[in-house]
Amino acid sequence: MAKMSYFLGKLPKKQDSRNLLALSYLLPGVKVPKSFDYEKQVKGPYPTLDQCDVPACTVFSSASSQMRFEKKEQGKIIVPQFVDLVTFYNQFAQPGGGAFILDVLKAWRKDGLPFEQSKYCIDAFAEVAIEPDIIKQALYTFGLCEIGVQVTQHMMDVPDGGKIDLKGDQAILGGHAMCVDAYSSVGLRVVDTWAGFTKRRTMTWAYVRKYMDECYSLVDAKDAKVRELVDVERLLADLRQLVGEVI
């Protein structure tokens, strides 16, 4: 089988001790099911946002999440333009290509991602510890996560709809950012931003433990389900105080 090659663009995790922790805001008594699928609540099909030969996965994965948020809120799928997302990415592109997830998340929250004639923002984001049970809690309560993973050749070779699992000790080829919209006992369902991936691949918990290096809950404060499970007002107040915004 010919080895597949895709453009990678997630730079190593940028540390920020001020990051809010997602699980600090869960309301008491939240019971997490064995599996969760955002698309069963907010049905697609969602198009694959292809980053082509631009190492802009940090932006295209964020736009994949925003598409899902807008489908839930507006009842329709709004697809951003490739050139607009690349222009947005260019604000954060580092010498040699790629960007930090944190830089993109902060601009997404403050300025919004470009969709047609509008810009859409998340209300907040919060860091999630890389432990399967904690990631499950975050996904079930907030709905979507943005993750960063280290990529092996095996991950690139896994076909559309396949399972990304451990396969010996392989060299790290780079970093990749992805939207996550479901979990099961097997692992996470990830949203690719590479051409040819129209079905969702599953990333096993074993791969998550070894190769995931960052994870963030995405906060849509207007989502009624999120408000039932998360102390959204306290989270937003803490965020505004942190960044010096007027409450």
User: Domain map of the chain by residue range?
Assistant: 22-241
What pLDDT was estimated at residue 197?
78
- pLDDT band at residue 247 using 50, 70 and 90 as cut-offs: very low
| DSSP codes of every residue in 45-103 | PPPP---TTS--HHHHHHHHHHHHHHHHHHSS-----HHHHHHHHHTTPPTTS-B-HHH
Mean pLDDT of 27-42: 93
Structure confidence at residue 1 (pLDDT): 32
- Quick one: pLDDT band at residue 66, thresholds 50, 70, 90? very high
**What is the average pLDDT score of the chain?**
92
Task: Determine if the peptide bond prior to 114 is cis (ω within 30°).
Answer: no
Picking from 157, 153, 148, the residue whose alpha carbon sits closest to that of residue 169 is 153
Q: Report the percent of the chain where pLDDT is more than 70.
A: 97
Using CB atoms within 10 A of its CB, is residue 38 exposed (0-12), middle (13-18) or buried (19+)?
buried
- Mean pLDDT within 18-40: 94
Tell me whether residue 103 is exposed, middle or buried, using C-beta atoms within 10 angstroms of its C-beta: 0 to 12, 13 to 18, 19 or more.
middle
120: closest CA among 11, 244, 218, 21?
A: 218
- pLDDT at position 191 over 50: yes
Mean pLDDT of 174-196: 94
Q: Which H helix or E strand runs over 35?
A: none
Tell me which DSSP letter residue 23 carries. Answer: G
Q: Which CATH topology does 22-241 take?
A: Cathepsin B; Chain A (3.90.70)
Structural contact between residues 144 and 188, judged by C-beta atoms closer than 8 angstroms: no
Whether residue 116 is predicted with pLDDT greater than 90 in this model: the reply is: no
Number of Cβ within 10 Å of residue 197's Cβ equals 19
Encoded amino acid at 112, one letter: G
